[in-house]
Structure formats: C-alpha cells, structure tokens
Amino acid sequence: MNDSLTARAADVFLAAFGQPATIRVQAPGRVNLIGEHTDYNGGLVLPCAIGYRTVIVARPRTDRRMRVVAADYDDAIDEYALDAPIERLAAPMWANYVRGVVHELLQREPGGQGLRGMDMVIAGDVPQGAGLSSSASLSVAVCTLFSALPDYPGLGPIEAALVAQRAENDFVGCKCGNMDQISSACGVQDHALLIDCRSLEVSPVPIPAGAAIMIVESHITRGLVDSAYNTRRAQCEEAARHFSVPALRDVDLAMLAEKGGELDPVTLRRARHVISENERVVAAAQAMAAGDLERMGELMAASHASMRDDFEITVPAIDRLVDIIKGAIGPAGGVRMTGGGFGGCVVALVPEELVEPARQALTRDYRAPNGAQATVHVCRAAAGAGRL
C-alpha cells in the first residue's frame, strides 16, 4: 500500500481548503486473470484487485456544494451544487466519473436529500489507459466515500459496484460490464475473485502459493469510450438474439456448433470467443484452487489466442509481449492480454523464480512502436475498497 499517496492527497487538501480532511477512503484497480468480454454477456470472470488504487480524502460540508480537486491533474478543481442538475462535461473526464456517481446517488434518494456537499481531493497510482481499471477505481472510491458518511445509508460492496457501473454506463457513456467495479469493491487479499456477472455471486479463489502476478504495460494506450468495445458488445447481443436467449451466457459450444453456422462469420467468431472463454474461466478457477499453474498456463494461452483470432482485440505489440514472456517462462505459468483490448497490459501468473528471467527477456526483446520499454509490475492480489 502506497501511503505517500494518502499523505500527498492530505497535503493538497490542506492547501486547497485550509483545514484537514476528516475521511479517507481507497478503491483499487484490478487485473483480470481470465474471462475477457464475458461480463456484459452475463458470464464469468476471474480478476483480482491490485495494490494500485485511487485515494480520496474529504471533509463533508454543511451545505450542498461540491468542490473536487484532482491532485494528479495540477490540482484542477470541479465545483458544482447538488441542488442543480448535474451536467456531463466535455472535459475533463475525471470530473465526469465523480459527477456520474453523485448523479446516480442523487437519483437513489427521494428528493435527493440524503447527500451532503463535500470538499475532496483525489489522488491515484493506477496506471491510466493501461486496462487496469483506473476509472472504475475512481467511481468505486466515490461511492465508498459517500457510504462512509454516518448520516447516509451505506451501500454494500456489490451495491456500490453497481452504482459505479451505472455512472459509467449512463453518465460517462461507456457501456462497460460490471467486472471492474465488482473487483474493486469486493477484492480479497491474496485471492482472485470468481465472479458470476449475472447472479453477482463472488467466490474468492486463493492465488497459488509461490505464484507471482506480473502485470506488463505495453505502452500502447487504449481508450474504452472511443474503442471498438461498444461494437464488440453489439455483436455479442446480435449473436444472443440469433439464439433467442437473453445473453451469450445461455449458449454452450454444442448449441454453437448446431446453430452457429447461420451466423455471419464475424459474429460467429465473436460468439465463439465468449462461449469458450466462459468455459475456460470455470476450468481456471479449478486449476487455481488445485495450485496447477501449468494448466493455468494452457488456459491463458487459449484465452489469448481466442482474443487474437476470434474476438480480434489484440494488437501486434501485445501479441509480441505475450510471446516473449511465454518464451521465458515455458509451460510453468501463463500469460495473456488483460482488459478491454487494443493495447494496455498483459498479465502473467508465474512461479516467483521466473519473474526475473521474464523481466530480462522483456528488456532484451520488447520495444513499443514508440520505442518505449515494457514496464513490469509484480503485484499481490489486494483487498477491496474501504476506509483508510
């Protein structure tokens, strides 16, 4: 845990508002071990929260004004009143994630009277645009902050995650699923989370002893709102309609083999990724529980190939990163792209002693198209959002 983040936010708070903050909360980013683009199909995912997070230090006000400072954006400030309609801004985007959650919380309150105004400072260390859910960690942190107020009815972690997701879907305009927010709200130290994104059941699965989680940044940035994410989602919904089911979660490989031939080839490939990925998540949770990193390696390799060939969300530099790491770790662990796609990070689950060989291979063999070297983070699975 990076306590200097909280200290920095507290210093900025004092300088901006002239008195100390009284509440401190945090919400982590996440890395997804397996189960990509399955969440909005009512499917299964296996992410874990990570030790990079968004911290908010705050002080409730007696009136209904909001003053929100972003310590990572030159202490820029966003000010508004809770009594006027909350508008979406053209920029900056960070302000919209806060506004979106506040807007959602106001909708939940009859007459919007439960919320008090707030002075707050936000600081974070989740790499941005890297597929590690910096935005979900911000929205979940804002929910956690309001939940911590003694006179506000607290939200449970799943409820907080769903409020954060709705803020992103309806206010910010990104049609993301619920994986990132649930991971941030419900993380368990040293465990991945098997999440059923339809029933919202969350089952912690221990990270095998002696295994390290490596997150490797490709330095190809991606933007969820602008990317082909929404197109993929629409293709999945079209495939579900073809099978006359609510979501692709309700289709298995046998059904796909029987009736999938009537789909156009692209939609068929999209559906095949989602359906096979759900099966891999179940197998991966079993492999993790059994401490079987080799099996995890096979499943992660199959997941990456499916994202590359069927869902078509990888890019050459990411495929190269995966190949380099796989070459260094051999069959003893796994590696795949993680997150929404088109850049961002790869994740590897490897015996601890293979971290250094993988790091050396990356230094030797990887350069992003702009010449940047990969950045390696070795992480532990972290606890979810809460008060500090």
Residue ranges that bind ligand GAF, judged by CB under 6 A: 32, 36-37, 39-40, 176-177, 179-180, 224, 339-340
Widest pairwise Cα distance in the chain: 68
For ligand GAF, give the closer residue by CB, 99 or 222: 222
Shortest distance in whole angstroms from residue 32 CB to ligand GAF = 6
Find, among 74, 261, 250, 55, the residue nearest to 144 by Cα: 55
CB of 100 to ligand GAF, least distance (A): 14
User: CB-wise, 143 or 224, nearer to ligand GAF?
Assistant: 224
**Was 148 annotated as part of a binding site?**
no
Shortest Å, Cβ 226 to ligand GAF = 13
Helix, coil or strand: residue 152: coil
CA 380/CA 376 separation, integer angstroms: 13
The annotation status of 129 as a binding-site residue, yes or no, is yes
E strand intervals along the chain:
23-34, 44-60, 65-70, 76-81, 118-124, 191-196, 202-206, 211-217, 334-338, 345-351, 375-379, 386-387
Give the strand pairing for 44-60 and 191-196: antiparallel
Q: Which of 233, 227, 321, 306 is nearest to 272 (CA)?
A: 306
Q: Which C-beta is closer to ligand GAF: that of 33 or that of 66?
A: 33
Q: How far apart are CA 368 and CA 105, in angstroms?
A: 41
CA distances from 28 to 18, 42, 51 (A): 28, 23, 6
31-64 exposure pattern, b = at least 16 Cβ within 10 A, e = fewer: bbbbbbbbbbbbbbbbbbbbbbbbbbbbbbeeeb
Structure-block tokens of residue 60: 């409730």
Residue 87 marked as a ligand binder: no
Q: Which is nearer to ligand GAF, 23 or 313 (CB)?
A: 313
Is 135 annotated as belonging to a binding site?
Answer: yes
Considering the complex, state which of residue 164 and residue 325 has its C-beta at the smaller distance from ligand GAF: 164
The reply, when asked if residue 273 is annotated as ligand binding, is: no
Of the CA atoms within 13 Å of residue 187, those in its CB half-sphere come to 31
Can you name the residues that pair with 57 across neighbouring β-strands? 24, 121
* Cis omega (within 30 of 0) for bond into 127: no
Give min distance, CB of 14 to ligand GAF, in A: 34
CB of 33 to ligand GAF, least distance (A): 11
> Is residue 114 part of an annotated ligand binding site?
no
- Whichever of 42 and 60 has its CB closer to ligand GAF, that residue is 42
What is the smallest separation between the CB atom of 228 and ligand GAF, expressed in angstroms?
Answer: 11
Catalytic annotation, pick one of 78, 119, 125, 180: 180
Q: At residue 262, what is the residue type?
A: E
| Residue 180 designated active-site | yes
Query: Rounded to whole angstroms, how far apart are CA atoms 68 and 94?
Result: 10
**Per the annotation, does 371 bind a ligand?**
no
Nearer to ligand GAF, 292 or 312 (CB): 312
Q: Is the dihedral of CA 228, 303, 296, 324 positive or negative?
A: negative
Report the C-alpha gap between 81 and 67 in whole angstroms: 9
Q: Supply the minimum distance, in Å, between the C-beta of residue 132 and ligand GAF.
A: 9
Is 219 annotated as belonging to a binding site?
no
At how many degrees (to 10) do helices 355-365 and 316-329 cross?
140
352 annotated to a ligand binding site = no
Alpha helices in 52-202 (DSSP H): 93-108, 134-147, 157-166, 179-186
Annotated binding site for Mg(2+): 135, 168
Annotated binding site: 36-39, 129-135, 168, 229
Annotated binding site for substrate: 36-39, 229
User: Which are the catalytic amino acids?
Assistant: 180
